[in-house]
Chain A
């Protein structure tokens, strides 16, 4: 498995593939982190935040 990964990495031009692989790994780490922190949010917080557009503080609502 490791030799296969090494082969894949070395088969391109030196340096360039690393620059592409690095951000891909960064992305998946970021994605997992986003999933984790998002999962940690409480339902009450979600409900409060999601309702912000509906509570805009306008004193007089239009009759539309």
Chain B
């Protein structure tokens, strides 16, 4: 006779993560709303450095991805895994450790990013001590997940858990790969790879952070919560198997589509394009499987806000996973890249897919865990409609802005000159779109606040069940009698192994040849390392997050070379740690900025951009003229860069401060000649920044330039 075990599901850890997700959702989305307003009200930063767009943007993206969505993922994983394998999580203490270390990482991010402490790698901006914290927390989560699966009472591992496993494996690999860096100080490091190599690894990470943090865990949640809410099994289990393997295998290859028409080797770009196009098939397979689960239950969708949220979430997933591959076609990417189209694409995914699936999950979970009904169905309906209209008002103006930007950038007059030669001509055109986007964001945020109130009242009216009683037949020993794919489905070790192989191949095939084959990055003899002062200026540029609005990558198009100058070559970036190609042009590209304007212009521009560029939406940076340059880590910076391969002479680190001060005096003297009377000017940060900006893109025009 089969023995029946009685045990308890741990809802306490689920509630902890859910509350953290909601709290950080309120904060992260508020920061997003703030920077949305700053894009048409540049003084909205109130003159405070840590309130400035460049510093808040990474805070918004990190808070939205790793705090709001991250905590929501853990909420769903802890809830569903226990029930799918019919056993509580292996260790309650490890779960708590995971929870608190993850929140500590988020807190550290919330402090360091506004202070300008950033590695500048998009979605991986956190500096090395916090990277270590992420690794510790992530490993704790992984051990708890693995051990729970080891102790399971259900032989078959359900498809949702496959997606959780692939998430854990891939994020571990990406986090390690993209954070190979050497510390300069407690809060500063330089990446091991430079220029094009750094860019490829970053976008291998960046694209797959979207794939394996914003997509695969959410597909796992979809495969669990949609059947639960609809009270019917997934449409096709066979399709889910095909969906899983094809998706994780292909996704990892698609990173280079973020670098089309850049200095990345052409073969890597083409490979990224082909794989991105192939992604449509598994993505839509998954979307259809999710939507068709509701076959025969559409009457429920009309009445149940949970299902309403799920339907819009899955539809948004379908839209963004169709749009993504389309944007990876080189001719389409030539038009959409660097514009607000990309921003719209991202937010269809995050606001629609991640946001709405999270809200649906919370509306399902809170009444379950509190043993009550949802406080107000009507309020949830209001939230649904405000959120949906908010998304529409958010993304449509941004698509419109994207088209306006690119058409304006590319328009030539019959005499062969650019019609909109001044970049500001385009910026001022899209400001109304930015305003409408802020209205959309406000509606979405209002919906979020309604959800918070609704869930709070639901919790108040119910009784929380921290440990839910359950029973299941004991699984004395897993018998592997299955054949075919079902064999692997019940063998955890084999499953981890094959999932790792599937995600490992793509990245390695793109990264290893790019780095090892010398002809992929031909060096240019006239390109020299940055001077110490330029290096300090570059780090100030990184601190302020200038890369969020300015690219440093001129693509080989007539419209770009006519506007900015020679197109960018891979060999020009070999000393760039980190690379600063950027992915959005709210302002113009800066790669050939050096020597374009006098020093005085830069001084005035940084103090008040509108004094030199009427209509500019760039914030003011008066603190560059007030703060002294901090040379305390310069020696260490030179040492680390030499270790990484920058050809600074032996002993140069001892002379670096002296050399920097000498160059600073020259720039300060020029500024004084042009009427700037600031006391101690040669010690101010603005001088270092000017040194860097005046160097940008100028090496290629110096003396003999040969490629080797």
Asked whether, in the complex, the Cβ of A53 is within 8 Å of the Cβ of B227, the reply is yes
Taking CB atoms and an 8 Å cut-off, the chain A residues in 10-64 that contact chain B are 12-13, 15-17, 19-20, 22-23, 26-27, 30-31, 34-35, 37-41, 45-54, 56-60, 62-64
Residue of A nearest to B239 (CB): A38
CB distance from A64 to the nearest CB of B (A): 4
Whether a CB of chain A sits under 8 angstroms from the CB of B241 is yes
Asked whether, in the complex, the Cβ of B468 is within 8 Å of the Cβ of A19, the reply is no
Determine the chain A residues whose CB is within 8 A of the CB of B160 once the complex forms: 53
Interface residues on A, range: 35 or more
Q: A51-B233, A62-B367, A64-B368 are in contact. Are A34 and B242 (CB under 8 A)?
A: yes
A9 to B364, CA, bound (A): 54
How does the 8 Å CB contact mask read for B450-493 relative to A, with 1 for contact and 0 for none?
00000000000000000011111000000000011110010000
A51 to B154, CA, bound (A): 12
Whether a CB of chain A sits under 8 angstroms from the CB of B373 is yes
Binds A, one of B117-125, B181-189, B204-212, B245-253: B245-253
Determine the chain A residues whose CB is within 8 A of the CB of B371 once the complex forms: 62-63
Whether a CB of chain A sits under 8 angstroms from the CB of B404 is no
Determine the chain B residues whose CB is within 8 A of the CB of A57 once the complex forms: 83, 86, 470-472
A39 to B483, CA, bound (A): 12
Asked whether, in the complex, the Cβ of A19 is within 8 Å of the Cβ of B513, the reply is yes
Asked whether, in the complex, the Cβ of A47 is within 8 Å of the Cβ of B233, the reply is yes
**Cβ-defined partner of A62 (8 Å) among B231, B246, B368, B512:** B368
How many CB-defined contacts (below 8 Å) exist between A and B? 120
A41 to B242, CA, bound (A): 12
A37 to B484, CA, bound (A): 5
Asked whether, in the complex, the Cβ of B470 is within 8 Å of the Cβ of A58, the reply is yes
Determine the chain B residues whose CB is within 8 A of the CB of A16 once the complex forms: 267, 513, 517
Determine the chain B residues whose CB is within 8 A of the CB of A60 once the complex forms: 468-469
Asked whether, in the complex, the Cβ of A37 is within 8 Å of the Cβ of B513, the reply is no
Asked whether, in the complex, the Cβ of A13 is within 8 Å of the Cβ of B83, the reply is no
Whether a CB of chain A sits under 8 angstroms from the CB of B234 is yes
Residue of A nearest to B231 (CB): A54
Whether a CB of chain A sits under 8 angstroms from the CB of B302 is no
Whether a CB of chain A sits under 8 angstroms from the CB of B372 is yes
A46 to B486, CA, bound (A): 10
19 further contact pairs, Cβ within 8 A, besides A27-B250, A64-B367: A13-B267, A13-B519, A19-B513, A26-B505, A37-B485, A38-B242, A41-B237, A46-B236, A49-B156, A50-B234, A53-B233, A54-B232, A56-B470, A58-B9, A58-B470, A60-B468, A60-B469, A62-B371, A62-B372
- A residues in contact (CB < 8 Å) with B: 12-13, 15-17, 19-20, 22-23, 26-27, 30-31, 34-35, 37-41, 45-54, 56-60, 62-64
- B residues in contact (CB < 8 Å) with A: 9, 80, 83-84, 86, 154, 156, 158-160, 223-224, 227-228, 231-234, 236-238, 241-242, 245-246, 249-250, 253, 267, 271, 364, 367-368, 371-374, 468-472, 483-486, 489, 502, 505-506, 509, 512-513, 517, 519
A-B contact pairs, 5 of them (CB 8 A): A16-B267, A16-B517, A26-B505, A49-B156, A63-B371
